[in-house]
A and B are shown apart, each in its own frame.
Chain A
């Protein structure tokens, strides 16, 4: 019997598909050709003719590879949306929404100021509320089939967003607005970073911990090729 795997591998040499997906595609198509070849031989067709008919099936192999590539790309996007973006955005909405609501309704002071006494309580309450927010993000990511890292990113999404904002604020303030205040007072920038990114991040992560603890290796086994007998 011809070595169909080698034959397909050669045909796909210039196809833009790699890694495990490439190997899976080669294995699937080679299996198909092996079956077809065996069936043709069983029906009484001579080997050269059977091989030729099988080879003819691969005329449009690049069409198959393109469909596979498209599936991987779109599947990857869907997977990322399900396991990172959507849980992350929900966590961010919950975190920022809870802070806004507390400021609007529960307390007379309209803003959180970490440096003023009396308003600390809002911050502490918010940090406590971030614990279930982090848990929710991690849970939604895990339920969507996310890996451990996906769940961590989803739960820390509000902190990561704030970190990104801080990273943007610095160059914008210095280079576009010509504001040298931050440069002369880096300590304030550091405090801001600590109170808006690191400490909330710790709260969120504490919430995510029980969910991450339940996370098992099966969630991560999405290589599409389990070794099951049957």
Chain B
């Protein structure tokens, strides 16, 4: 456990399980006080907070569906009040999928995925940039997907959201680069989580590394991108996919 950082804190959305939980634990290990956002599974989020506390870190469970336009402000206000410092690290990890082939994909499935996986990341980033611009530093990492880089039948809504997230990452990154703020994306491939548990394994068969990745392997990349050492990396997309997008 690193020395506690008191200059700022971190917010990870969708952090009650899977990749988000691993990222929250990793950032807490780097000394950040971490907001562990969750939508519905309070017990799981409290479990992540408890494991961080047990390891000597600081964390706070924060309820809120990021697709709700009022939630970003509520999350930031709660964290700023709890820790008395600005959010200097934002990880937009919350994501949903609602798979179907394009010819039969419903409007609801399209809208829900775009709202959570793309629009929410924009609103959270917009809110995060206010204190970051003032502080002249900050780190934002957007959790995209290999599906934002290459096709995966049945996921056109998810792919559109993640490709959009990658484009948003690059554009926002260049807008604020001269203020010492970096915005990057990671693009996980097939990672063992609840989200991939029910998905067809066709994609897994194409992974050159011949195995699924772990949430910790994604968290390690996010950790680098949020570190002081990554100060000259911005607008980048780091694939964490065992070679799937190569």
Do A and B truly interact?
Answer: no
- B interface residue numbers (CB < 8 A to A): none
- A interface residue numbers (CB < 8 A to B): none
